[in-house]
A and B are shown apart, each in its own frame.
Chain A
Amino acid sequence: MWALVVVVGIIVYEVITRRVFGSPHVWTYEIITFFYGFHFMILAAYTLLHKGHVAIDIIYIRFSPKKQAVLDLVTYLFFFFPFVIILLYVGFDNAVASWATGEKTLTARLPLVLPGMKTVTPIAALLLLLQGFSIFYRRLFFLTKGREL
């Protein structure tokens, strides 16, 4: 699954860079913004997997591995899951409304772009949620069984 995300990331990059050299049609801008938005949202879960999100471990690393696991469980419950679940929920609502009305972009009147973009939020949130579950489960497993999964 992550490989797919990776491939998508690469394609998106190629498309973005190529589009920029194209002739200046209005629609290219809208495609660029779409791919740029798609790119960073979808890669959020991939970045989480690789511990790429900026965090401060200056105090965290001083705790024992067990205490670190407890800290992770608490912070994921309090911060991560509420946020991601809310994103999934409101993002889904937003996307459904957009598809239902068949929203078009303001300048080039392209169909599909805006609904597509709004669909990215719930998908990214879902991927984040799955990755979050995976991390949560690993930490819980480590805490109860005393070894890494």
Chain B
Amino acid sequence: MPEFSPELLTFLMFAGVLVGLFMGHPLAFILGGLAVIFGLLGWGFSAFSMFANRIVGLMDNLILAAIPMFIFMANLLERSGVADGLFESLRYLLGPIRGGVAMAVVVVCTVFAACTGVVGASVVTMALLAMPMMLKYGYDKSLTCGTICAGGTLGILIPPSIMLVLMADQTGLSVGKLFLGGIVPGVILSCLYIGYIAFVCGRRPELGPPLSMEERAAVPVKKRLSMAAISLVPPVLLIIGVLGTIFSGIATPTEASGVGAFVALLMAIGYRRFSWKMFKDTVLSTGRTVSMVMMVLVGASCFTGVFMGVGGGQVLTDLIFTLGMGNKWLILAIMMLIVFFLGALIDWIGIIYITFPVFLPIAEKLGFDQLWFVVLLAVNLQNSFLTPPFGYALFYLKGVAPPGVTTADVYKGVVPFIALMLVGLFLCILFPGAVTYFASFID
């Protein structure tokens, strides 16, 4: 068997991912297939016994078992109409302000994000809910698309988030600590979005006109407040319940996720949305989402095993140190750039699996706080949903958008929000306390 240099193999493995993606094959099997091909090239047949162990490692894993239940909870909430009621009331509450409906979207996404932790669910829900409404009120198409994509993506950062669960599993940090670390950056991003919407709509009201007088008169202020309160209380209680039990140490994240799913089911019954058909649909759609996420994990896990085995990790580490010239902030910037560019190509699961084994030792060597570093990556990965060509939030949005909205509108709309995410990332780098302060309260 001919010898290949680790540099060449590293390059070819990434090139292979790109080629496979462009050909429209599922990511999970591209990663797995490449693992097989390059396992053979760089290693021989003995590489493959590792696959079985890695997969059993993913299955026999109590931390990751929280993922399906959080997804189940999210799907139940989505179908119980929590977001509908919340959006409806906030629309009237914030509607009189310029850009108010867009702000309502961000607020709903922030609250909804805190209950779900799945990007697809919140982007699709908000797109179906808010998009026709915003376009009807004469909101700018690009602004509408950008707001929904960026807001929906918050779900992956604001706890409970399945991304943070996966990161906890990869790093050995506790899920509770990561959840606490993710709250403030999530709120910062959410505030940045609202501030941006207020700013552009303030300067150019035609982008986001306020509600008309007639519409405002239809619902009195007092009724608006009570509507908002009624729709806000149950989801907030659920969040406090789930996160509270995790933070206080009463339950493990896995148990809390199971209880959360059960409470979400009770809420669906309470909102009179429950039926056996709805339950069956939810179970099935959850199964598909879970399997989708987990199979990418399976593929990525095998891919990374081979990637590290053929020396790709060392190649990447050398590259980072060479480019960084010994300056730790430059090295940090390079790592963030790598994640940013990978984010334009593959999804967060693959990125976490490929970069963590390489980046974590580097960060440790440079003396960065591990929690802070991991949350920085989580904030950075927000971009991976929005950056073209392969931003997953864009696909979700385009999939449910009304016919008049073009791909160009969507792409144009997310640009300012990508910039805002980078601002948020920069703020977290500048003020590490935003990440670490709350997390320091629990061990």
Contacts and interface: CB of A to CB of B under 8 A. Distances in A.
Interface of A: 6, 9-10, 13, 16-17, 19-21, 29, 32-34, 36-41, 43-44, 46-48, 50, 52-61, 68, 71-72, 74-76, 78-80, 82-84, 86-87, 89-91, 93-94, 114, 117-118, 120-121
A91 B291 contact: no
Interface of B: 20-30, 32-37, 48-49, 51-53, 55-56, 58-62, 64-65, 68-69, 72, 254-255, 258-259, 261-262, 280, 283-284, 286-296, 299, 302, 347, 389-390, 392, 395
A117 B33 contact: no
Given A53-B291, A72-B25, 6 more contacts: A16-B65, A57-B24, A72-B24, A83-B36, A91-B51, A94-B49
A99 B51 CA distance: 18
Main SS of chain A's interface residues?
helix
Contact of A36 (B20, B65, B296): B65
Given A20-B259, A44-B295, A56-B21, A36 B59 contact: yes
8 contacts: A10-B283, A32-B62, A53-B27, A58-B390, A59-B22, A75-B20, A80-B29, A121-B59
Nearest to A5: B287
A21 B59 CA distance: 21
Contact of B69 (A17, A46, A71, A118): A17
Main SS of chain B's interface residues?
helix
Q: Which of A13, A19, A29, A32 has the most CB of B within 10 A?
A: A13
B37 A53 contact: no
Nearest to A37: B59
Nearest to B36: A82
Contact of B290 (A40, A79, A83, A89): A40
A41 B59 contact: yes
A78 B33 contact: yes
Contacts of A10: 280, 283
A47 B36 contact: no
Contact of B56 (A40, A58, A93, A121): A121
A90 B52 contact: yes
Contacts of B58: 37
Q: Which of B258, B259, B286, B302 has the most CB of A within 10 A?
A: B258
Contacts of B72: 13, 17
A93 B52 CA distance: 9
A111 B36 CA distance: 32
